[in-house]
Amino acid sequence: MIEIKNTLVSMDLFSECFCCDLTKCHGMCCVEGDAGAPVALEEVEELERAYDAVKSELPAKAQREVEENGVVYPDRDGELVTSITGGKDCVFVRYDNITTDGGKTRGPRCALCAIDGAYRQGRLQWQKPISCALYPVRISTVGGVPALNYHRWDICRPAVELGRRLQLPLYQFLREPLIRRFGQDWWDECHLVYGELRKAGYL
C-alpha cells in the first residue's frame, strides 16, 4: 500500500489495467452478487430523489420493491446497500441496447444504471452512489484511514483485457470518480506517484 494524502492506495491501482467493456460483460456488475451496492448514509436522500426521476424507466418489480421497502436496506453486515429484486438486480437497473454518441445501436441488451443515464441526459445533478462509480475499486477503513483496493471479479475479465489493450491503468480509468471522492489535488498526487513508480522500474 502507498500513502497518498491520508489514504492508503493499493499498488494494483497503478499496476493493473482496466476499461469497462459493456459489449462483453453486459453490465452484470449491477446484477450479480449477493447484495446491492454500498451506499453512504448521506447518499440515501439523493437516491430517493433519483428514484422519483427515473421511476417510469424501471421494471414494475423494482418499483414494487422500492415502494414497499425503500431504496436501501442493511446487508448481513449491517451496511446500507441499494435495494435489489430477485436476489440480484439493483432496483435502478434498466435493460437496453448500448448506443454510440450518434445514436446507433451497438452490441446486445445490457443492464444499465437508470440514475447514470438520467445524469448524462442532464435530468439529474447527482450521478450515482460513489461505490458504483469507483468500481472495481472498493474503499475500506484501516486504522481510521480510507484504504483503496482492487476487487477482482470474473465478470470483469473483458474490462481487464480491454484495459490491457489500451494500456490504461486502473487509476486513470477511474479518474473522474476518484476526483469526485478525493479531489483534484489527491488525483494529481496519485498521478505523480504513478510516474515515480514507472521511473523506479516498479511498473
* Contacts of 60 by beta carbon, 8 Å cutoff, 6+ apart: none
Same domain, 141 and 157: yes
Q: What pLDDT sits at residue 203?
A: 86
* Residue 62, pLDDT above cutoff 80: yes
- Residue with C-alpha cell 475499486? 137
Same domain, 55 and 127: yes
Percent of the chain past pLDDT 70, that is, above it, reads 94
Q: What pLDDT sits at residue 108?
A: 58
The residue among 99, 132, 165 that closes a domain is: 132
* Cell output for 169: 491503468
The residue among 113, 132, 151 that closes a domain is: 132
Q: What pLDDT sits at residue 155?
A: 93
Per-residue confidence band for 101, with pLDDT thresholds at 50, 70 and 90? low
* Residue 103, pLDDT above cutoff 70: no
Q: Give the tens place of pLDDT for each residue, 3-29.
A: 999 999 999 999 999 999 988 999 998
Residue-range definition of the domain harbouring residue 3: 1-18+136-203
Same domain, 91 and 141: no
Same domain, 142 and 125: no
Same domain, 10 and 97: no
Same domain, 29 and 120: yes
Per-residue confidence band for 96, with pLDDT thresholds at 50, 70 and 90? confident
Same domain, 13 and 67: no
pTM listed for this prediction: 0.88
Query: How many folded domains does the chain comprise?
Result: 2
Per-residue confidence band for 99, with pLDDT thresholds at 50, 70 and 90? low
Which is more confident, 163 or 103?
Answer: 163
Same domain, 114 and 180: no
Q: Give the tens place of pLDDT for each residue, 135-175.
A: 999 999 998 999 999 999 999 999 999 999 999 999 999 99
Q: Give the tens place of pLDDT for each residue, 107-119.
A: 557 899 999 999 9
CB 93 within 8 A of CB 26: no
* Residue 51, pLDDT above cutoff 90: yes
Q: What pLDDT sits at residue 110?
A: 87
The residue among 87, 107, 132 that closes a domain is: 132
